[in-house]
Structure 1
């Protein structure tokens, strides 16, 4: 699964996700893309599950680009632990996704295969998405 090799700080504040995506909101590599319509934290496991669903349907033909990376450490305290005694340990890595962000791109497959692959991948994600294509296609 995806996670950074090293980080400046071990644990991060929760923060908030507000506003639209500034960058990464247009297709760069592929002909078809999966665009987020909501703000949400997407975990490394969800990204990997989506990638597997897309590549499996494409039968490993074509190419897949993952345009998001889980760089935020999310901490969690164990169950039934009293308040206090510091922050919990890092449980998983997540990526803060804003509305308008292109998360996955694919190319090298036919239109119907691409749309079905992205539809299957979108089912693995916690955000509402839409499939976008290049203007000329």
Structure 2
């Protein structure tokens, strides 16, 4: 799971590093509520109130996308964002489809 606070910390790290050079897309959304009962509360009496929201991230899921910056800056920015994540991440470069078609 990735919490909404972790996603926001990664977003801030990305946008600060690329400054005003490119565009950032966040491809995950925290849509799962995690509930918690108050401290020193007896068992029972129903489910606790929502404590935080998380995004369920499975292997292979694209979490962030960058556009309009050089690959070196993008890799450094993504490394900063990956440091904020509680899971192992990988930097992937997407090959443009129209560039391949123009080369043929």
What TM-score, normalized by structure 2, do the two folds share? 0.88
String of CA shifts for 1:94-135, please: whole Å, max 9, x gaps.
Answer: 111100000000011111110000000011111100000023
Unaligned runs of 5+ in 1: 1-40
The structure with the largest alpha-carbon Rg is 2
User: How many residue pairs were aligned?
Assistant: 97
4+ residue runs of structure 1 moved beyond 2 angstroms? Answer: none
String of CA shifts for 1:57-113, please: whole Å, max 9, x gaps.
Answer: 001210000001111111011122221111100111111110000000001111111
Report which of the two has the higher share of strand.
1
Bigger relative contact order (CA 8 A; separation at least 6): 1
Unaligned runs of 5+ in 2: 97-104
Q: Secondary structure at the match of 2:63?
A: strand
String of CA shifts for 1:37-76, please: whole Å, max 9, x gaps.
Answer: xxxx111111111000000000121000000111111101
Distance 1:77 1:48 in 2: 25
Report which of the two has the higher share of helix.
2
2:102 matched to which residue of 1? none
Q: Secondary structure at the match of 1:102?
A: coil
RMSD, matched Cα: 1.4
Distance 2:20 2:3 in 1: 23
